[in-house]
Homo-oligomer: A and B are copies of this chain.
């Protein structure tokens, strides 16, 4: 099994002004090719620090991937660091310069001085064309270890990895097959208790859990010499895990609650609308994160104001006055209003106190009502998302809970009619 170190360069990263998403993306891509990312390092835009980390990486890892520090400004030092580490000067690379000129020309924009520096390359290194930005990547060897430097902008980095780095990677001597079962409905320890024996250390596949915003991921990492064996091991583990976890599992890998809902709605020719108060569109956004949602999602109303709750969805003004906009009664009326007025088979509603202010003794911050209306019935669930939630977390967990309410209802319907 080959190992990789991933280096992210940028003072905005070490100081925490930007969250690094590149390292995780690259690690996933490497795993798929049987290369295990064993360490991520983040260093500031300081030549000495970058050189130190490059040296350690080249001596410990079989492969080094770098992102960041290839931009057009003075604080972009990756080119210089690679030249210093390789003991060669930088020189202009004609082809890269032409590409950068073309990039600006095609967009009718003028080239800046810093963009010329982006075409510099350590002598002996290979330039990796950038199809969606200005900075070319760099490929060279340090102490025989292959080192690839990619831009920090995620879209540029991803395209360059897939087109330029992946084809140059050594054929792997082994495979790590990664899978993840995604669960909702119980906490991490409760789920861990159901599968403790499978999680024992040293087993293959390795099984581990992680939790985020009410969703527990159960990871399966199967290691083998070839991909057929890894697949068989992962399949066996997945079957056993699904048997133990039952309806807690809503999807695998990138499958989302929205995906699970969409599949079931399409099967029964259902159509969904939403009425969102405190989430203000987040549920609609999550439902449509994947393309193709128009087959089962029509849209809905962002009823942030009470005027829109009454005006567009017919919630009686007196009902809001009597129970408050955050109430089971209003959640039910919103869902019914969305389903009947927007003519769909299913409708979800969310109303609540996302905070940080606006709570009361009876309905503190984190009090959320999610409603579901179908032709057969309307149901409402009260959530208390409590003290540990930021506004963001409360809104995301509310949207997740609404989707799970619908998922369980659709599963019940299938079980009854199936």
Which positions in A face B, CB cutoff 8 Å? 10-21, 23-31, 36-45, 49, 71-75, 109, 112-115, 131-134, 152-153, 155-156, 159, 176, 178, 180, 187-190, 192-193, 196, 199-201, 206, 208-212, 217, 219, 221, 274, 276, 279-285, 287-291, 293-294, 297-305, 307-308, 311-312, 342-343, 354-358, 386-393, 395
- Nearest 5 interchain pairs by C-beta: A281-B281, A16-B27, A281-B284, A132-B388, A16-B24
Instruction: Give the residues in chain B near A311, CB-CB below 8 Å.
Output: 342
Would you give 8 A-B contacts (Cβ < 8 Å), ordered by A? Answer: A11-B206, A13-B24, A16-B23, A16-B31, A19-B19, A291-B391, A300-B301, A300-B308
**Do A155 and B193 have beta carbons less than 8 Å apart?**
no
**Could you say which of A74, A276, A390 has the most chain B C-beta atoms within 10 Å of its C-beta?**
A74
State in angstroms the CA–CA spacing of A289 and B393 once bound together: 11
* New A-B pairs, 6, CB < 8 Å, besides A19-B19, A293-B304: A16-B31, A17-B210, A39-B43, A40-B40, A45-B208, A284-B302
The contact of A16 among B11, B26, B208, B284, by CB within 8 Å, is B26
The contact of A282 among B21, B193, B285, B386, by CB within 8 Å, is B285
A208 to chain B, nearest CB (A): 5
| Known contacts A190-B112, A281-B285, A299-B304, A24 near B19 by CB under 8 Å | yes
The residue in chain B whose Cβ has the minimal distance to the Cβ of A201 is B74
**Do B74 and A199 have beta carbons less than 8 Å apart?**
yes
**Do A301 and B301 have beta carbons less than 8 Å apart?**
yes
| Known contacts A16-B27, A45-B208, A208-B11, A393 near B155 by CB under 8 Å | yes
The contact of A188 among B10, B71, B196, B289, by CB within 8 Å, is B71
Question: From DSSP, what is the main secondary structure of chain A's interface residues?
Answer: mixed
State in angstroms the CA–CA spacing of A196 and B117 once bound together: 13
State in angstroms the CA–CA spacing of A152 and B74 once bound together: 35
A281 to chain B, nearest CB (A): 3
Instruction: Give the residues in chain B near A75, CB-CB below 8 Å.
Output: 199, 201, 206, 208-209
Instruction: Give the residues in chain B near A290, CB-CB below 8 Å.
Output: 391
**Do A221 and B112 have beta carbons less than 8 Å apart?**
no
**Do A188 and B73 have beta carbons less than 8 Å apart?**
yes
Instruction: Give the residues in chain B near A297, CB-CB below 8 Å.
Output: 280, 304
State in angstroms the CA–CA spacing of A45 and B23 once bound together: 17
Instruction: Give the residues in chain B near A289, CB-CB below 8 Å.
Output: 391-392
The contact of A358 among B24, B156, B291, by CB within 8 Å, is B291
**Do B355 and A291 have beta carbons less than 8 Å apart?**
yes
The residue in chain B whose Cβ has the minimal distance to the Cβ of A396 is B285
Instruction: Give the residues in chain B near A31, CB-CB below 8 Å.
Output: 15-16
State in angstroms the CA–CA spacing of A300 and B14 once bound together: 40
State in angstroms the CA–CA spacing of A1 and B283 once bound together: 45
**Do A15 and B36 have beta carbons less than 8 Å apart?**
yes
State in angstroms the CA–CA spacing of A149 and B285 once bound together: 36
The residue in chain B whose Cβ has the minimal distance to the Cβ of A278 is B288
**Could you say which of A19, A356, A389 has the most chain B C-beta atoms within 10 Å of its C-beta?**
A19
A221 to chain B, nearest CB (A): 7
| Known contacts A14-B38, A356-B291, A72 near B153 by CB under 8 Å | no
Instruction: Give the residues in chain B near A30, CB-CB below 8 Å.
Output: 16
The residue in chain B whose Cβ has the minimal distance to the Cβ of A10 is B210
Instruction: Give the residues in chain B near A109, CB-CB below 8 Å.
Output: 187, 190
A380 to chain B, nearest CB (A): 20
State in angstroms the CA–CA spacing of A49 and B200 once bound together: 19
The contact of A388 among B49, B74, B156, B210, by CB within 8 Å, is B156
**Do B15 and A27 have beta carbons less than 8 Å apart?**
yes
State in angstroms the CA–CA spacing of A28 and B13 once bound together: 10
The residue in chain B whose Cβ has the minimal distance to the Cβ of A180 is B17
The residue in chain B whose Cβ has the minimal distance to the Cβ of A358 is B291
State in angstroms the CA–CA spacing of A305 and B299 once bound together: 6
Instruction: Give the residues in chain B near A71, CB-CB below 8 Å.
Output: 188-189, 209
| Known contacts A282-B281, A284-B304, A391-B291, A17 near B219 by CB under 8 Å | yes
